[in-house]
Structure 1
Amino acid sequence: MANKLAIVTGASTGIGFELAHLAAQNGYDLIVAADEPLIDAAAADFKTHGVSVESVEADLSTAEGIDRLLATTNGRQIHVLCANAGRGLGHGFLDQSVADWRKVIDTNVFGTSYILQKVLARMVAHGEGKVLVTGSIAGHIPGAFQAVYNASKAYLDNFVPAIINEIKDHKGVTITNLMPGPVETEFFDRGGMMDTDVGQSKSKSDPADVAKDGWEAMMAGKSAITSGWKNKVQTVLTHVVPDSVLAEQHRAMAEPGSGNK
């Protein structure tokens, strides 16, 4: 019998890379995707676990890219989807190009929503499936100097529980929202945030630990998991601290040049 199939997006590095390893270690065949050629090298690593791996380089901010990714299943049942692809962006909103901030929204909001709609429809039809969405505790914080990114994660942190409720009668299908804080990945370099306090911080989470938390929560059918005890505390505080204070705190971490103070 063929192994069950898992799709992991944003799997070339970071949390997605670690999630793909976990899926392979647990015997899932893989389709992994990212918007960079590095995904092919990552796929070679995943193959060491003895499962079938197919890599797809695609623009996951577009319907065309996601459709091309899903076409590689050839109609095969999808048992696990880790919708992890995401894009960050630092600096002040007025200093960002429209193309850059739109790419964040198209990837984090449209791309994630589109692949969820497509895959969840197939899972519901089969009566089985598990989905992990990489949200963020940033979705609870007004993100001064990271405004569009945080707002895009606020969308996901709100969207996921709504869809969980909509499909609650389909007992075999579960969705889990993974909400980490800052993670030691290429995110900050790619988002132009290496001169910030958060970009230079040595206390960021290990992506392997975050992926493990997310994978275990997804397998258990939990609706959400905040990875890391400090992030759990931060999430609680966002419900009692005024937005103006949260925005100022975020500014101290994310303002360009704050890492040199």
Structure 2
Amino acid sequence: MQETVLITGATSGIGIELAKLFAADGYRLVIVARDVMELAATAQMLREHYTANVEIFAKDLFDPESGFELYRELEAQGIKIDVLVNDAGQGQYGLFVETDVRRQLDIIQLNISSLVVLTHFFLKDMVAAGRGKILNLSSIASKVPGPWQAVYHGTKAFVQSFTEGIRSEVKDKGITVTALLPGVTDTDFFNKADMNSSKAVQDKDGMADPADVAKDGYEALLRGDDKVVSGFKNKVQVALNNLTPDENAADQMKNFQEPVDEEKNNGQD
């Protein structure tokens, strides 16, 4: 029987690469994003290249009600989800006191609240069925405090802890819950976060390929792993962070993420 996967944030970055992997393996896809035109183009590509069965749902997961609406619409159409991929997420770059707090609240809604709503409803269905898989997009940002992206790092720390918690709750019910922890990846995340001036994104050659990250996450999901840190460099960074006091790790991250121009100005003082 053909299984169905739901992927949020499926029109770009890691999300679209995951969609390609599922399509290549014969899954029916339910793809979710805000822009209906981008969804339509993504669906057409998946159908043409993989002969995939694709359903599109245009939902703005910054809206607190969108997750509830999406579940109700799928339920009304009789679409059962076997695999849930919570990929959608955003950040905002800048010192916390200087950022737009309403935008930060929107990011919390997208990265945390909508993920929790979708996981709650689809996990209930999976428990009832006695089978299912969930992949949550965490980040190596979940493992260290994040000056210049304090809210984003905080949301990913929540996602990581939440994923580990519910995994333990359902591990004897035929369901696996996996966290994918990428590092700096070549996606549109940094443009959306207004982060292109950060030292962290200056080394374009050092950015991970989203296709490689997606492959790591996809294979870990199929194995039923609890988590996967994508990329050797990121594995080393996470290991070092585990040995570093939080205050020092935060200061190191502040230096890593501060704007390039500020670093130059500091050198001239």
Q: Same fold (TM over 0.5)?
A: yes
Give the drift of 1:258.
Answer: 5.1
Q: Does 1:164 align with 2:163?
A: no
Q: Which residue of 2 aligns with 1:135?
A: 138
- Partners of 1:32 and 1:51 lie apart in 2 by 12
- Partners of 2:213 and 2:52 lie apart in 1 by 23
Over the residues paired in the alignment, what is the CA RMSD in angstroms?
Answer: 1.5
**1:110-147: CA deviation from partner (whole Å, max 9, x where unpaired):** 11111111110011111111110000010111101000
- Partners of 1:35 and 1:249 lie apart in 2 by 35
Q: Does 1:223 align with 2:226?
A: yes
Is this contact kept in 2: 1:178–1:226, CA < 8 A? Answer: yes
The residue correspondences of 1:169-208 to structure 2 (distance < 5 A) are 169-170=172-173, 172-202=174-204, 203-208=206-211
Give the drift of 1:65.
Answer: 1.4
Q: Does 1:104 align with 2:144?
A: no
Q: Runs of 4+ in structure 1 displaced over 4 angstroms?
A: 258-261
Give the drift of 1:88.
Answer: 1.1
**Residue 94 of structure 2, aligned match among 84, 91, 100:** 91
Q: Does 1:41 align with 2:44?
A: no
Give the drift of 1:63.
Answer: 4.2
**1:74-108: CA deviation from partner (whole Å, max 9, x where unpaired):** 23321111111111111110111111110111111
Is this contact kept in 2: 1:195–1:257, CA < 8 A? Answer: yes
- Partners of 1:120 and 1:101 lie apart in 2 by 27
Is this contact kept in 1: 2:182–2:213, CA < 8 A? Answer: yes
Q: Which residue of 1 aligns with 2:65?
A: 64
Higher mean C-alpha displacement, 224-233 vs 37-46: 37-46
Larger CA Rg, structure 1 vs 2: 2
- Partners of 1:66 and 1:158 lie apart in 2 by 21
What amino acid sits opposite 1:57 in the alignment? A
- Partners of 1:180 and 1:259 lie apart in 2 by 27
**Residue 212 of structure 1, aligned match among 206, 211, 215:** 215
Q: Does 1:121 align with 2:120?
A: no
Is this contact kept in 2: 1:63–1:114, CA < 8 A? Answer: no
Higher mean C-alpha displacement, 177-186 vs 61-70: 61-70
- Partners of 2:53 and 2:68 lie apart in 1 by 21
Three-state SS of the structure 1 residue aligned to 2:159 is helix
Three-state SS of the structure 2 residue aligned to 1:76 is coil
Q: Does 1:152 align with 2:152?
A: no
The residue correspondences of 1:232-243 to structure 2 (distance < 5 A) are 232-243=235-246
The residue correspondences of 1:70-85 to structure 2 (distance < 5 A) are 70=71, 71-72=73-74, 74-85=77-88
Give the drift of 1:69.
Answer: 2.6
The residue correspondences of 1:10-25 to structure 2 (distance < 5 A) are 10-25=9-24
Is this contact kept in 2: 1:196–1:260, CA < 8 A? Answer: no
TM-score, length-normalised on structure 1? 0.94
- Partners of 1:77 and 1:56 lie apart in 2 by 14
Aligned length: 259
Which stretches in structure 1 are left out of the alignment for 5+ residues? none
Give the drift of 1:252.
Answer: 2.0
Between structures 1 and 2, the one with greater helix share: 2
Is this contact kept in 2: 1:199–1:259, CA < 8 A? Answer: no
What amino acid sits opposite 2:241 in the alignment? T
Is this contact kept in 2: 1:132–1:177, CA < 8 A? Answer: yes
What amino acid sits opposite 2:17 in the alignment? E
Is this contact kept in 2: 1:33–1:69, CA < 8 A? Answer: no
Which stretches in structure 2 are left out of the alignment for 5+ residues? 265-269
